[in-house]
Copies of this chain bind each other. A is one copy, B any other.
Amino acid sequence: MKITQSQILKLERLKRSNLVNTISGIKPVNLIGTVSGDGVTNLAVFNSVIHIGANPPLLGFIIRPYKEVRRDTYENIMETGYYTINNVNEKIVKQAHYTSAKFDKDVSEFTTCNLTEEYIQNFIPPFVKESHIKIGMKFVKQIPIDLNETSLIIGAIEFAEIADQSVDERGIIDHAINKTVGVAGLNTYYSIEKIAEYPYARKEELPEF
């Protein structure tokens, strides 16, 4: 099919959202853990975690307009300055998905979605015990995207816990070992299988295509 911008704009809201959310390919699935000043923990699934840089180690994610609905994740990060990013694997994909339901503010998605809070040393927000990659994040900067009132939230990796057998001597995490899942759009989840690893590309060392 071919579709133009004006046709996209005329689509029914959910269909437009589905199309534009699935068009760029497979995305990471991460659970962001936070806690409010009142001590209520929160867990929310995000498909927009993105690498910003390695030195310093920075990750970003996109937060939707605050005015539309309550944004506990955003509020809690602003309140405490810290959050956790927990990679989602096949065993917890269903629980992860349902953290997107609009639960009341005083209940924790850890409880309603049957995931286990884990606290590592004195880091304030909770990690997801069932996750194989747990990242402790410190909020660094909010970059507003005035085109549609979203924001890019950038944080620095304070520390990370990664399942031992999944990191090799080069620092590469094997997501097949971790049974990491991907998502397209908002509701279709995919398992992954390693198919190729290529060296750093040099023009003098091109393979046969």
| Residues in A lying within 8 Å of B, measured CB to CB | 1-5, 8-9, 11, 13-30, 47-59, 62, 85, 87-88, 90, 93-95, 97-104, 112-114, 133, 135, 140-141, 143, 145, 147-148, 150, 152, 154, 156-162, 164, 167, 170-176, 180-182, 184-203, 206-207, 209
Q: Decide if A4 touches B87 in the complex (CB within 8 Å).
A: no
Asked if A201 contacts B22 (CB within 8 A), the reply is no
- Residues in B with CB closer than 8 Å to A54 are 8, 16-17, 19-21
- Extra contacts, 20 of them, besides A13-B55, A24-B59 (Cβ < 8 A), are A1-B161, A2-B159, A5-B56, A19-B167, A22-B171, A22-B172, A23-B135, A23-B173, A25-B175, A25-B180, A26-B27, A50-B62, A90-B195, A94-B198, A98-B198, A98-B201, A98-B207, A172-B185, A187-B198, A192-B192
| A58 / chain B contacts, CB cutoff of 8 Å | 147-148
Question: Across the two chains, which residue of chain B brings its CB closest to A201?
Answer: B101
CA distance A199 to B187 in the complex (A): 7
Task: Tell me what chain A mostly uses at the interface: helix, strand, loop, or mixed.
Answer: mixed
A61 shortest CB reach to chain B, Å: 9
The contact of A11 among B28, B147, B171, B202, by CB within 8 Å, is B171
What's the least CB distance linking A17 to chain B, in Å?
5
